[in-house]
Amino acid sequence: MPSEKKALAVIGAGIMGAGLAQLFAQNGYAVRLHDLSEDALTQAVESARINLRMQSDFGWIEPSAVDEALRNIETTTSLSDSVAEVFFVIEAVPEVLALKKEVFDNLGKISPPDAVLASNTSTFDVMSEMPEDIAGRVLITHFFNPAQLVPLVEVVKGERTSDGAVETSMELLRAVGKYPLLLKRYLPGFVVNRIQLSINAMAFMILNEGIVEPEDIDKAIENSISLRLAVGGPFATMDLGGLDVMAASAQAMGVPPPPPLAERVERGDLGVKTGKGFYDYAGASSDDVIKRRDYRLMLLLDAYRKGLDE
């Protein structure tokens, strides 16, 4: 919790805006939630109430914390009122570049001159579109739906974004329990959506083969790689399986092993079994690394199975 209640603004009361307002409100920040629609604002607060009650029922927060968090959310249809005396602004309007540019143009004129202006875009390089007078305080903080639950936030710095704006963003995100991933530069789709796009493309290719139905593909993912990747990303998973095995598997499917993989195999850095792959396992036995992976997987499977029983 912040030592004193700091105010920030969320612009846009859709699904993401509602989740963002809840996230910061339940972590003790005064949130000014703005939208042009009173109905959208009412619905956003009700959505936050439902989600907070779910967290209370789950035992994550005390029942009293629900109303406490909701009291931290102030709604308004006035853009100027929403950003008065705030230190941070998050834009969460629809993914329309012209609309986002208009919002930021207005924010630049009415927000405090030292307030960070962040966009939740998952698509656009909004930083390159900014006028020079506000470019230093504009960056991307891409949250994932549901914003109040998913830990990762992709932070993208523009060429003109100041280090101070980045530091403020990283500190704020860590303060509310997020894992901020700082990208060195803008890349269309950032990190996660590019990976997700490749998964979706392959899912469609398999579907077109006519051997399984969409629900079969979903169940295959849910009961295999989604669980494995939850306890170790693709490079850690390759290290555990053996990079030589990964390279051979790629070749069997007609895909040349990518250079970072082929180079490690050629050097004999095959992952956990040789003590080095994409990670350096010096000082840790392969049994210890595997045991840690399996323990985390067992915890995840326990929760997964309980969810299936409910």
220 half-sphere exposure, CB direction, 13 A CA radius: 10
* Residue written as token pair 């779910």: 54
| Domain housing 146 | 7-183
Mean pLDDT for the stretch of residues 26-39: 97
* Residue of 151, 308, 102, 141 whose CA lies nearest to 219: 308
- According to DSSP, residue 257 is labeled P
Q: Both tokens of residue 309?
A: 């029983």
Residue after which a domain boundary falls, among 168, 183, 198: 183
Number of domains the chain contains: 2
* Same domain flag for 20 and 142: yes
| Cis, peptide link before residue 63, omega less than 30° from 0 | no
* Same domain flag for 75 and 12: yes
- 148 confidence band (pLDDT: 50, 70, 90): very high
CA gap 114, 85 in Å, rounded:
10
* Same domain flag for 176 and 228: no
Is 261 within a domain? yes
* Same domain flag for 169 and 238: no
Mean pLDDT for the stretch of residues 88-117: 96
Q: Both tokens of residue 241?
A: 């399986």
Give residue-wise pLDDT tens across range 52-68: 999 999 899 999 999 99
- What pLDDT score does 3 carry? 45
For 154, left (φ over 0), alpha (ψ -120 to 50), or beta?
beta
- Check pLDDT > 70 for residue 4: no
CA gap 200, 107 in Å, rounded:
36
Residue after which a domain boundary falls, among 154, 183, 212: 183
CA gap 156, 116 in Å, rounded:
13
CA angle 93, 95, 98 (to 5 degrees): 85
Exposure string for 220-237, b = 16+ CB within 10 A, e = fewer: eeeeeeeebeebbeeebb
Q: Which of 33-42, 117-126, 258-267, 297-306 has the lowest mean pLDDT?
A: 297-306
Which residues belong to the active site?
Answer: 154
**Sign (positive or negative) of CA dihedral 10, 13, 19, 24:** positive
CATH number, position 266: 1.10.1040
* Same domain flag for 75 and 155: yes
- What pLDDT score does 184 carry? 87
CA gap 199, 203 in Å, rounded:
6
* Residue written as token pair 């989600």: 51
* Same domain flag for 167 and 235: no
* Residue 276 β-bridge partners: 271, 280
* Same domain flag for 140 and 40: yes
**Sign (positive or negative) of CA dihedral 262, 263, 264, 266:** positive
> How confident is the prediction for the chain on average, in pLDDT?
94
- Check pLDDT > 90 for residue 193: yes
* Same domain flag for 175 and 227: no
CA distance readout (Å), 214 to 106, 196, 200, 225, 307 = 44, 16, 11, 16, 22
Q: Both tokens of residue 267?
A: 């050097």
Mean pLDDT for the stretch of residues 99-117: 96
* Residue written as token pair 């004129």: 109
